C-alpha cells in the first residue's frame, strides 16, 4: 500500500442530521429527516427517482440550505458553513473532469488550490494514480480515456486531499454492467483503505446492498428505514422497503395471534408461523417471504418450516437461478426462485408444496 494514506489515517467525520426539511415553493422535498452517519461508515442513500436523495446529499455538501433543521459534524453545527469550507470530496454522475488538464493535472488540482508543496503534490498524485490503477495514463487528456478510466480520475481527484467525507451521487450510472461492478469493488476497496466516511446515492438496490455498511431508504422525501444491508433486506419494517429491495411474496394472514417472539395466522387452510412480532391494530397482517427463501418439494418439509400447496404455472430460466411461477389454492400468484443447479425438473400444472423456514418470513402490517 502506498505510504501516504494508511487505513484509519483520514480524519473521517461523524455527521448528524437533525429534523432536516427542504421545501421548493409548496413542495416538500424532504420531510423532517433525522439521520446519524457514523465515522468511517459507508452509508448509501437509496430510493426511487424524486425521493429526495440528491437534495439530502446537496444539503450535506453545503450546496443547498435546508429549510428547517440542523446539520452537525463532529459535534459542531455546520448548517451555515459554505460548501468550500466543508471541504468534502465529491464524485458525481458526469465525470466533471477538466478537459484541458491531463490525468495527473486533474488529480493534482485540489492539492494545488490548497497550496500544497510540489513535492507533496507529486507524491500524493503518484499514490492516487497507483491506487486507482491509472499508471501509464498520467499524461492523457480525459477525452482519450474510457468512461471507467474517467470515473477513476474523478475518484482519485476527490480522495487525493484526504477529505473527511466523500459524497458520491450515482457515480456509475453511465457505465455498462461489468465496468460498473468493477468500479463498485474499487470504491469498496478505496473506502476500506482510506477509512473516510462515504455517503453514496443510488437508486440501484443491489448496488446499495453490495457496497454499504448501512443503507438509508428514502421515499417521497421521507426516510423510511436505516440499517445494515442484511437487516433492511431480511427485516424491512414496511411494505415499501420490502418491495423496493427485491421481489417479495406477500401472504395475507387472518386470525393473527402474537405469542412472545412468534406470530401465527391463517393463510388459506394453513397456519403460517412467523418468527417475529410487530404491533398490530387488529387480527390481520401480511407474512412476507423472499422468493429465494422458498423451495418446492413433493411433500411439506417438517422441521420449523411453513408449507402451502400451489400449482406450477411456469418457469423462467435466469442462468444461475430459475424462477417458478405458482398459484396458491385461492388464486394468488407466488414466485419461488431456486439455484438452477439444485432445481429438478418440475412439470407445469403439477401440484407441489412450497415451503420456507419459519425464520425466513417476516410480518408486515396490513396497510403500508
Contacts with ligand ATP by CB under 6 A lie at 24, 27, 29, 47, 49-55, 203
Q: Cα dist. 180→148, 149, 173, 230 in Å?
A: 8, 12, 8, 22
Backbone torsions φ then ψ of 280, nearest 5 degrees: -115, 145
**Exposure b/e, 237-260, CB count within 10 A at least 16 = b:** bbbbbbebbeebbebebeebebee
* Cβ partners under 8 Å of residue 304, min gap 6: 357, 358, 359
CB of 215 to ligand ATP, least distance (A): 14
CB of 118 to ligand ATP, least distance (A): 39
Which residues make beta-bridge pairs with 202?
A: 46
Instruction: Output DSSP code: residue 106.
Output: H
| CB-nearer residue toward ligand ATP: 50 or 133 | 50
| CB-nearer residue toward ligand ATP: 172 or 356 | 172
| CB-nearer residue toward ligand ATP: 32 or 277 | 32
| CB-nearer residue toward ligand ATP: 203 or 290 | 203
* 364/287 Cα distance (integer angstroms): 6
Backbone torsions φ then ψ of 93, nearest 5 degrees: -50, -60
Question: Would you state the cell numbers that stand for residue 13, as one nine-digit string?
Answer: 467525520
Backbone torsions φ then ψ of 203, nearest 5 degrees: -110, 10
CB of 95 to ligand ATP, least distance (A): 17
CB of 364 to ligand ATP, least distance (A): 24
CB of 203 to ligand ATP, least distance (A): 5
* 222/201 Cα distance (integer angstroms): 15
Question: Would you state the cell numbers that stand for residue 180, as one nine-digit string?
Answer: 460498473
CB of 175 to ligand ATP, least distance (A): 16
| CB-nearer residue toward ligand ATP: 55 or 328 | 55
| CB-nearer residue toward ligand ATP: 232 or 354 | 232
Amino acid at each position: 500500500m502506498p505510504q501516504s494514506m494508511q487505513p484509519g489515517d483520514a480524519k473521517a467525520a461523524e455527521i448528524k442530521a437533525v429534523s432536516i426539511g427542504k421545501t421548493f415553493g409548496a413542495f416538500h422535498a424532504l420531510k423532517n429527516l433525522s439521520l446519524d452517519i457514523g465515522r468511517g461508515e459507508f452509508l448509501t442513500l437509496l430510493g426511487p427517482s424524486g425521493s429526495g436523495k440528491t437534495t439530502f446529499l446537496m444539503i450535506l455538501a453545503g450546496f443547498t440550505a435546508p429549510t428547517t433543521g440542523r446539520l452537525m459534524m463532529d459535534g459542531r453545527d455546520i448548517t451555515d458553513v459554505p460548501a468550500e469550507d466543508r471541504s468534502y470530496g465529491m464524485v458525481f454522475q458526469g465525470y466533471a473532469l477538466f478537459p484541458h488538464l491531463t490525468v495527473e493535472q486533474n488529480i493534482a488540482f485540489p492539492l494545488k488550490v490548497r497550496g500544497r508543496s510540489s513535492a507533496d503534490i507529486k507524491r500524493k498524485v503518484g499514490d492516487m494514480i497507483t491506487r486507482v490503477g491509472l499508471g501509464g495514463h498520467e499524461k492523457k487528456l480525459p477525452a482519450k480515456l474510457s468512461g471507467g478510466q474517467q470515473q477513476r480520475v474523478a475518484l482519485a481527484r476527490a480522495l487525493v486531499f484526504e477529505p473527511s467525507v466523500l459524497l458520491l451521487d450515482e457515480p456509475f450510472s453511465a457505465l455498462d454492467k461489468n465496468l460498473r461492478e468493477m468500479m463498485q469493488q474499487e470504491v469498496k476497496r478505496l473506502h476500506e483503505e482510506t477509512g473516510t466516511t462515504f455517503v453514496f446515492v443510488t437508486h440501484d438496490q443491489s448496488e446499495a446492498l453490495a457496497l454499504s455498511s448501512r443503507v438509508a431508504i428514502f421515499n417521497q422525501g421521507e426516510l423510511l428505514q436505516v440499517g445494515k444491508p442484511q437487516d433492511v433486506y431480511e427485516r424491512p419494517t414496511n411494505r415499501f422497503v420490502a418491495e423496493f429491495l427485491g421481489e417479495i411474496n406477500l401472504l395475507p394472514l387472518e386470525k393473527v395471534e402474537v405469542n412472545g417472539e412468534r406470530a401465527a395466522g391463517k393463510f388459506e387452510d394453513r397456519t403460517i408461523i412467523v418468527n417475529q412480532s410487530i404491533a398490530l391494530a387488529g387480527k390481520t397482517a401480511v407474512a412476507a417471504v423472499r422468493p429465494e427463501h422458498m423451495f418446492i418439494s413433493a411433500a411439506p418439509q417438517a422441521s420449523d418450516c411453513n408449507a402451502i400447496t400451489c400449482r406450477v404455472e411456469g418457469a423462467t430460466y435466469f442462468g444461475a437461478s430459475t424462477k417458478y411461477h405458482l398459484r396458491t389454492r385461492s388464486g394468488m400468484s407466488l414466485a419461488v426462485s431456486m439455484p438452477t443447479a439444485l432445481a429438478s425438473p418440475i412439470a407445469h400444472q403439477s401440484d407441489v408444496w412450497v415451503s420456507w423456514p419459519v425464520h425466513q418470513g417476516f410480518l408486515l402490517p396490513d396497510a403500508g
